[in-house]
Amino acid sequence: MGDIRVREAGAADHDAIVQVLMASWGSTTVVVHGSVYDAAQLPALLAERDGRVVGLLTYTIADHDLEVVSLDAVVPRAGVGGALLSAAADLGRRVNARRLWLITTNDNLDALRFYQRRGMRIVAVAPGAMDAARKITPSIPLVGRFGIALRDELTLELQL
Ligand SMILES: CC(C)(COP(=O)(O)OP(=O)(O)OC[C@H]1O[C@@H](n2cnc3c(N)ncnc32)[C@H](O)[C@@H]1OP(=O)(O)O)[C@@H](O)C(=O)NCCC(=O)NCCS
């Protein structure tokens, strides 16, 4: 198997990006901290291995902060997520962002482990934020990973 390569996505990657988002989340719409994003329209980093898309990170940059809106490894536990997060941090430093931050949910224990092992800190917890998000997007499930009730948003950040 070849190396994982990360590059900035271009217009020609739109279909592949939609495919990854749909497979992972069933939609390209991401509702976080009360904001609604069409992640397929955001700037993105793509991870590829042997010419195939193996991961996607979408982001926005505002107020000198880089927000990771979505991160998906098509092939898990092979270094894809780590490569994408590291590339996003490098990108943030290049544009003089002060921090990289993101939201995850209380049930996403894999993500909480993954981010904290990469130096990210939990800096805020919004109890009940997913209940509010469900009012915007009723299809958000009541029960998340590991059978845990999907209720809260956690903000994690990495100082750049
Ligand atoms: C969270 C997520 C992005 C992590 O991506 P990933 O590609 O699995 O991450 P990595 O492979 O870089 O690292 C995951 C683990 O695999 C291990 N790993 C990496 N390469 C490996 C390899 N070649 N062989 C064996 N294990 C490996 C790492 O040690 C790592 O363990 P750690 O997190 O305890 O440090 C992924 O689980 C995912 O897509 N989840 C679903 C979507 C999601 O929840 N996204 C986050 C929303 S906020």
Domains defined along the chain, listed by start: 4-159 (3.40.630.30)
**Å from CA of 135 to ligand 1 middle:** 30
Atom of ligand 1 minimally distant from the CA of 80: 7
Pocket of ligand 1 (CB under 6 A): 24, 71-73, 76-82, 102, 104, 108, 110-111, 113-114, 117
Residue pointed to by tokens 């430093």: 93
Assess contact for 33 and 129: CB atoms under 8 A: yes
**Å from CA of 24 to ligand 1 middle:** 14
Atom of ligand 1 minimally distant from the CA of 117: 35
At a CB cut-off of 8 Å and minimum separation 6, what does 113 contact?
A: none
Q: CA nearest 148: which of 118, 105, 114?
A: 105
**Å from CA of 146 to ligand 1 middle:** 17
Q: What is the pLDDT of residue 70?
A: 97
Q: Is pLDDT of 139 > 90?
A: no
Rounded distance between C-alpha atoms, residue 16 and residue 19, angstroms? 5
What number is the average pLDDT over the span 93-99?
Answer: 96
Name the average pLDDT for the chain: 95
The answer to whether the pTM exceeds 0.85 is yes
pLDDT band at residue 34 using 50, 70 and 90 as cut-offs: confident
Q: What is the pLDDT of residue 112?
A: 98
Rounded distance between C-alpha atoms, residue 1 and residue 27, angstroms? 30
Q: What is the pLDDT of residue 31?
A: 87
Q: CA nearest 102: which of 55, 33, 37, 38?
A: 33
Least confident of 12-21, 31-40, 55-64, 123-132: 31-40
Q: Is 139 exposed, middle or buried (0-12, 13-18, 19+ CB in 10 A)?
A: exposed
Q: What is the pLDDT of residue 19?
A: 97
